[in-house]
Structure 1
């Protein structure tokens, strides 16, 4: 090939998937002997883009979304190894663009404001290189649908008429038949099917206005109707969002964070229920997962993970989505700002849900009233009432905790001395009533420790609640230590 010859390339245009855009790209000074044949190039590209059947589903469904589809149907067999079919009702592909859609292009190296999921145009040629594929489509406004087939990267015959009312129908058979060594790296049929389910769930969450159906053999795995809000779709995907959801809404410097999280009592042992999206693109980013974990670190154990579905809308020139072959990772221009927005948004949502109080200095005369209000009002509301807005932990106060609230809230508590308090405390239902000798020994130990309060900021520990909160006393103040 002579130097400087322009190469025809294709990317996803404004009107949907597969629309052709011709981009002139000059070939650098490379001798003919160094230029690999098209089939080899496609196989190399396929090795990066198509790792497993789920990769095929992801690329084809993203193209269907770009095409403006409102209904997408996916069918698989043997975990996607034998057959993958994706049908949509989108804009379709023009007859003259069907062959162009299977050409490799250089759009992945262009600096663009990427608004579409399938921006690189590598999916179809990569899939065609390692499988038998048939693309049938009817473009919007066209009178006929046309079909074209490829096998191992080679075109099989010419364009033929096809019966299709609207949109695009793609069949991918015998995945990796052209590269049999790849087959040994596939997991079990069940594992590959689950990977496809996860991909569809991720894409369905953020594209809640689209209906999705996933079928494996004769078994329907997923069925999502078109929804009007992210919350409704989340309740379809994860039932635990229903009744446990907190809304997240934060914005700064043109960056907007929206989504829903679950209260801390709903958590799991893996981070797979943390769903993150950037400009409508499902991603897995350690920065975002770390921000979510930081926001929850005061509410759940360190080895547990919350449920969260968060969508970041970022100006396209502030995020690079072309950093991973599968487009599953991104690079943020301002990592610190993104981290702060996510943590602040989640902490605000959790604070509203829990009803946390503003911090009051220890010297403020309102401290005692605030603590009494917390013990008398917040705790009793949280555990005794069924109102969803006040419920946090799903349990009732124990007899000891009820007695504790009464003791602390008593208006005459200051007038009682320590001995009288110990003698009048009601241990009924908690433990066996102590003898007079035991009370005297306990009283003596307590009085000895009271002298140490002056030199201990957190005072003298009275008790522990829920195996989490230590209740301590300093003079006329009460301190709760998490």
Structure 2
């Protein structure tokens, strides 16, 4: 079967250049702007935000396929503006003189005419000092403006999306999947604008419908408002384990919240990056987030964070793609460096802190299986005299030849008096030759002695390597690796970074490169395989941490062998010394793979386990 285009012969007619009509142009533009119902919701809600709305309500039916209605209390439009709003490249956001100083969500003037070209669109709006008016456009055909009844703001109703391009309907997913995509869009915009109220309802079947998502406006400063909004969008667990991020450098500012490494996720679903409040899916920024957590998580775990990079609009280009989800930075390395250093500084400041969800999971594991009948307690907490009498009554009778019954209680040597007031408390016991039990003012701490000491040794080795550098071993005969010219150029662009890791590369003519030095700590290295793995990572992530990962894997193994082994009995002073070093060492709350090194249980939670509360 010949799938190639037919060749033009001398006798064949010459193809004629035609000017497409406005309807066809709008349908083509809609293919770029409106991919699915969630895309339409995004464009309409962003328009509502640009209008200064403080509350936005979105109603959808059948996953947005049959109805999308967006209601806002923004500035509205006058009747004379409605036909112009449905014209392509007509916008109130910019005047066209400066495309590098964009401070609004929308600016292209394509969304409304694109939606009107592929669906049945009705706009009802009222501006201050004007009467309300409405206009309808279906499949690109516009009806005249008519008077309407509306108190303020704008209501945009889109029905039968893609009825004018039915082929697009075949590519839509199930109603549930499309509804979930719309919810994700609203959640992202709700995090971008924490002072604006959002409501999303499913009105399939008519009536009032069902509220899918609701976030009321929050007050206070930016961080207070964002903190309250994240509690609604991402849950109380995230905000309880999140670190405040607020750093500024080189005219850029990074703000938001990032979770502790022990609050890692199995996928990247809780990674949200914004640029000047605009939700973006930027590979470089997400890669920088990954780099910042690189040393604290295994490669199958993902950090959770909500970050907003604030930069002068003239230093970032948002006019890259019609969907406006991609951006380009004038100084990409400055933006990347700010994210990495800002997050690492915050993580270091967290010290030995670990996620509170670890304790919740521990308590859940302690809870017994529910009995067939509820437990009945005769008393909440007996008095001390009652306890003494009960213990005396239950004590075994004295054995002949002994003055008293032998005691079953063993006490560790008395710790330093002030140790119990320290964050990790005072060591009281060691169980199973691996777990240290420490008492704090408000509860107890269980420490995995091997995992904790492994992290401490690992941090010491990293400090030593940072001070002395990574020794490189020169190859007796440089290894020549043949690559394509594109791959060689890509690799040599990162040569300086790789050299700091002990991997020294040089061009060798054409597409070949010469590997002259490799990190000494790695021993014998298959340089060709290593180079190809690095190239794969560069193509996938935009940067490569492979060499660093291998070096730190060796350091981790060295730390494992040099740390306190499981099964070793420790004296009280050794256990307390370990606790004090953990308190003084950053990142000691998690092991080298991101798992917790200790669990803290509050006394109130322990008492609740035993039905005392």
TM-score normalised by L of structure 1: 0.70
**Cα separation, 1, equivalents of 2:560 and 2:141:** 80
Aligned twin of 1:349: 346
**Residue 397 of structure 1, CA deviation:** 2.4
Looking at both structures, which has the greater relative contact order when contacts are Cα pairs under 8 Å and sequence separation is at least 6? 2
Give SS of 2:199's match.
strand
Aligned twin of 2:112: 124
Give SS of 2:167's match.
helix
- Assess, with a 3 A threshold, how the Cα gap between structure 1 residues 147 and 332 changes in structure 2: closer, same or farther: same
Aligned twin of 1:187: 173
- Assess, with a 3 A threshold, how the Cα gap between structure 1 residues 465 and 114 changes in structure 2: closer, same or farther: farther
Matches within 5 A, 1:73-472: 73-105=57-89, 111-142=99-130, 144-156=131-143, 158-217=144-203, 218-228=209-219, 229-239=225-235, 240-355=237-352, 380=425, 396-397=446-447, 461=562, 463-464=564-565
Give SS of 1:305's match.
coil
Aligned twin of 1:411: none
**Cα separation, 1, equivalents of 2:187 and 2:141:** 33
Give SS of 1:176's match.
coil
Aligned twin of 2:30: 46
**Cα separation, 2, equivalents of 1:40 and 1:270:** 41
Give SS of 2:562's match.
strand
Segment drifting more, 280-289 vs 62-71: 280-289
**Cα separation, 2, equivalents of 1:129 and 1:320:** 28
Give SS of 1:213's match.
strand
8 Å CA contact retained: 1:380, 1:397: no
**Residue 242 of structure 1, CA deviation:** 2.9
**Cα separation, 2, equivalents of 1:465 and 1:336:** 44
- Assess, with a 3 A threshold, how the Cα gap between structure 1 residues 180 and 94 changes in structure 2: closer, same or farther: same
- Assess, with a 3 A threshold, how the Cα gap between structure 1 residues 164 and 37 changes in structure 2: closer, same or farther: same
**Cα separation, 1, equivalents of 2:193 and 2:441:** 32
**Residue 44 of structure 1, CA deviation:** 0.6
- Which 4+ residue blocks in structure 1 deviate beyond 2 angstroms? 106-112, 376-388, 457-466, 477-482
**Residue 332 of structure 1, CA deviation:** 0.8
**Residue 140 of structure 1, CA deviation:** 1.9
- Assess, with a 3 A threshold, how the Cα gap between structure 1 residues 347 and 103 changes in structure 2: closer, same or farther: same
- Assess, with a 3 A threshold, how the Cα gap between structure 1 residues 67 and 301 changes in structure 2: closer, same or farther: same
- Assess, with a 3 A threshold, how the Cα gap between structure 1 residues 255 and 36 changes in structure 2: closer, same or farther: same
- Assess, with a 3 A threshold, how the Cα gap between structure 1 residues 465 and 62 changes in structure 2: closer, same or farther: farther
CA deviations over 1:368-423 (Å, ceiling 9, x no partner):
xxxxx99x9675589857899xx9xx96126x779x9xxxxxxxxxxxxxxxxxxx
8 Å CA contact retained: 1:85, 1:169: yes
Q: What's the RMSD between the two structures over aligned residues?
A: 3.3
- Assess, with a 3 A threshold, how the Cα gap between structure 1 residues 384 and 320 changes in structure 2: closer, same or farther: farther
**Residue 349 of structure 1, CA deviation:** 0.9
CA deviations over 1:28-63 (Å, ceiling 9, x no partner):
xxxx95321100100110011000000000000000
**Cα separation, 2, equivalents of 1:383 and 1:165:** 65
Give SS of 1:34's match.
coil
Give SS of 2:240's match.
coil
**Residue 354 of structure 1, CA deviation:** 2.2
**Residue 297 of structure 1, CA deviation:** 1.5
**Residue 462 of structure 1, CA deviation:** 5.3
Give SS of 1:463's match.
coil
**Cα separation, 2, equivalents of 1:355 and 1:303:** 23
- What runs of 5+ residues in structure 1 fail to find an aligned partner? 1-31, 357-372, 405-456, 467-472
- Assess, with a 3 A threshold, how the Cα gap between structure 1 residues 145 and 241 changes in structure 2: closer, same or farther: same
TM-score normalised by L of structure 2: 0.55
Give SS of 2:230's match.
helix
**Residue 111 of structure 1, CA deviation:** 2.6
**Cα separation, 2, equivalents of 1:77 and 1:163:** 24
**Residue 253 of structure 1, CA deviation:** 1.6
- Assess, with a 3 A threshold, how the Cα gap between structure 1 residues 379 and 76 changes in structure 2: closer, same or farther: same
May I ask how many residue pairs the two structures share in their alignment?
365
CA deviations over 1:275-319 (Å, ceiling 9, x no partner):
000011000111111111111122221111111000011101100
Give SS of 2:262's match.
coil
**Residue 355 of structure 1, CA deviation:** 4.8
Aligned twin of 1:418: none
CA deviations over 1:249-295 (Å, ceiling 9, x no partner):
11012111000011112121211210000011000111111111111
8 Å CA contact retained: 2:425, 2:445: no
Among 36, 39, 53, the alignment partner of 2:20 is: 36
**Cα separation, 2, equivalents of 1:385 and 1:128:** 67
**Cα separation, 2, equivalents of 1:292 and 1:269:** 15
**Cα separation, 2, equivalents of 1:278 and 1:459:** 41
